A and B are shown apart, each in its own frame.
Chain A
């Protein structure tokens, strides 16, 4: 099997862009990725694309060109972007294609996501009685986690403050104003113990990544990034997931742990080798828990890492260097691809003001979403 390289990366700024459709943002990102790889749309042999609220991704061919390629629409909840990338990676690793693209874009209306119970196999009663909210799940998961591990809730404000600090260094981020931990902690309570500024918001944005066989990558990029692994996993019986009317009495490792373990194993690289990581921070508690679920540290080690500044851009384990979901918002189709885009820049050494020092050579990404799906990547220079 051939290795897979990422040779083109393009992004449309995240946030709110009135008057520009999700699809237009997707086309913008695709053109940027193609230009970055020095190729045209006619060189693309296949595409996987996803959008949750902005129409079918393959409508993009009307903008990019009707070239007859295999274009598959991907719809996999909050892991849509990660899923598109996983399918694209497999299409090249299997030898089926040499060059392809993964695209994700979205444009959500303001306010919390409003999922329909029926789409998740749940009765209408669940929504009518006020339980069909992702925010409740995240709040209960972190509340239980803080309780079980006797951890200080003030870490939640520190994590969010880091996100906005990093977002301020990222020209493509939505929220670019730093905010103090005190301001975050004292903002309106949304779902206890999580306040308004501890949550990311549905938003807009687009990312595209051009992938190719690693042995031809030098044709496109002076410094290709190698995608060592890209693994998607869904929940097993016994995990604690969003939109669950009931749970098993005993917990099992969740899809984030399963996907991360498999991604590290397939890459032949251990979590201790990671020098830059983008992990799902739907809210700041998610970052705290996902640090452990993905194997980057052990239960209880997060507090030391955070308080010592080790998860900052200049630390030993920089996390969410582009501001994460908290500073970028969450356009579902694009969110997982944004993480990979950021690691491409970091491993190339072109991340500008937010560049991790010391020429990082190993990057990790992790996206998680409803109804209990996770996708992880390991990338190297």
Chain B
């Protein structure tokens, strides 16, 4: 089981049926879903909002590749930097979540491909790697 406490921000996730899930919020009034969890609704402004576990599977909506090293506080701004992909993942038409994308082949990423929630360790310039949520293409989905 994933060590939630070790994640870069444990409040981003929860455990459902023994597996990691992102936790956003759902509005009791208008059903709007956001990520991360927040205490009021950005759509209807209501406060009847509760934590809501998000689907683990989704489709890639948009993506890009970060080719230059970001400045701090990114943990790999120096020698440890390797290019990485980020994208928005459509989770069951509930919400699009921005995430790092884990893949061995950056050139293979495609809009619409199936992706699934994973945990990624980002090696840092100094000290231990940090772990965070990410999505990775589902094997066999070559659309």
| Closest partner residue, chain B, to A195 (CB atom) | B67
Interface size class, chain B:
35 or more
Chain B CB within 8 A of A130 CB:
yes
- Find out whether the CB atom of B130 lies under 8 angstroms from the CB atom of A129: yes
- List CB contacts (< 8 Å) of B39-86 with chain A: 42-43, 61-68, 70-76, 84, 86
CB distance from B68 to the nearest CB of A (A): 6
B64 and A129 form a contact (CB under 8 A): no
Q: Which of A127, A191, A237 contacts B73 (CB 8 A)?
A: A127
Would you call B96 and A247 a contact (CB within 8 A)? yes
Looking at the assembled complex, report how far the CB atom of B135 sits from the nearest CB atom of chain A, in whole angstroms: 13
Q: Are A127 and B74 in contact (CB under 8 A)?
A: yes
- A128 close to B75 (CB less than 8 A): yes
23 residue pairs bridging A and B, Cβ less than 8 Å apart: A112-B68, A123-B36, A125-B12, A125-B132, A128-B74, A128-B75, A129-B8, A129-B75, A130-B86, A132-B74, A133-B70, A140-B62, A140-B87, A143-B64, A192-B64, A193-B64, A238-B43, A246-B34, A246-B35, A246-B36, A247-B98, A248-B32, A249-B95
Kindly list chain A residues whose C-beta atoms are within 8 Å of the C-beta of B8: 125, 128-129
Q: Quick one: which of B11, B42, B71, B76 contacts A237, CB cutoff 8 A? A: B42
Number of A residues with CB within 8 Å of any CB on chain B? 36
User: Which residues of chain B (82-141) have a CB below 8 Å from chain A?
Assistant: 84, 86-88, 90, 93-98, 100, 111, 122, 130, 132
Please state if A188 and B67 are interface contacts (CB–CB under 8 Å): yes
Tell me which residues across on chain B come within 8 A of A136, comparing CB atoms: 64, 66, 86
Q: Which B residues are in CB contact (< 8 Å) with A127? A: 73-74
Instruction: Indicate if the CB atoms of A192 and B9 lie closer than 8 Å.
Output: no
Cβ distance A240 to chain B, nearest Cβ, rounded Å? 9
Enumerate A213-261 residues with CB–CB distance to B below 8 Å.
237-238, 244-249
Residue A111 at the chain B interface, CB threshold 8 Å: yes
Instruction: Choose among A140, A190, A247 the residue that contacts B68 (Cβ–Cβ < 8 A).
Output: A190
Beyond A189-B65, A192-B64, A247-B96, is A237–B132 a contact (Cβ under 8 Å)? no
Chain A residues contacting B72 (CB-CB under 8 Å) are 114
A369–B73 Cα distance when bound, in Å, is: 22
Q: Which residue of A lies closest to B65 (CB)?
A: A192
A-chain residues with CB within 8 Å of residue B43 when the two chains form the complex: 237-238, 248
Whether the pair A246, B100 counts as a contact (CB closer than 8 A) is: no
A228 to chain B, nearest CB (A): 33
Please, which residues of chain B bring their CB within 8 A of the CB of A111? 71
A247, B35: Cα distance in complex, Å? 8
- Bound form: Cα–Cα A248–B35 in Å: 10
B94: A residues at CB distance < 8 A: 249
Partner of B62 from the list A124, A129, A130, A141 (CB cut-off 8 Å) is A141
Closest to B98 in A: A245
Quick one: which of B64, B75, B98, B100 contacts A244, CB cutoff 8 A? B98
**A246 nearest CB across to chain B (Å):** 4
Taking CB atoms, residues of chain B closer than 8 Å to A245 are: 35-36, 97-98
Contact residues in A for B68 (Cβ distance below 8 Å) = 112, 190
Nearest CB in chain A: distance from B134 CB, A: 9
Determine the chain B residues whose CB is within 8 A of the CB of A132 once the complex forms.
70, 74
Give A277-334 interface residues, CB cut-off 8 Å to B.
Answer: none
Nearest CB of chain A from residue B67's CB, rounded to whole Å:
5
> Out of B62, B66, B130, B132, which one reaches A144, CB within 8 Å?
B62
User: Top 4 A-B pairs ranked by shortest CB distance?
Assistant: A139-B64, A125-B9, A246-B35, A144-B62
A189-B65, A190-B67, A247-B95 in contact; A128/B130 too (CB < 8 A)? yes
> Which A residues lie within 8 Å of B64 (CB)?
136, 139-140, 143, 191-194
A238 and B32 CA atoms in complex are apart in Å by 11
Using A114-B70, A191-B67 as known contacts, list a sample of 10 further A-B pairs with CB atoms less than 8 Å apart, ordered by residue number in A: A123-B9, A123-B11, A129-B8, A130-B66, A135-B66, A143-B63, A194-B64, A245-B98, A246-B36, A249-B96
Closest chain B CB from A198 CB (angstroms): 13
Given A112-B68, A191-B65, are A130 and B74 also a contact pair (CB < 8 Å)? yes
- B88 touching A247 by the CB < 8 A rule? yes
Contact between B98 and A124, CB atoms less than 8 A apart: no
The answer to whether A144 touches B111, judged by C-beta atoms less than 8 angstroms apart, is: yes
In the bound complex, what is the Cα–Cα distance between A123 and B73 (angstroms)? 12
- CA–CA, A247 and B73, complex, Å: 24
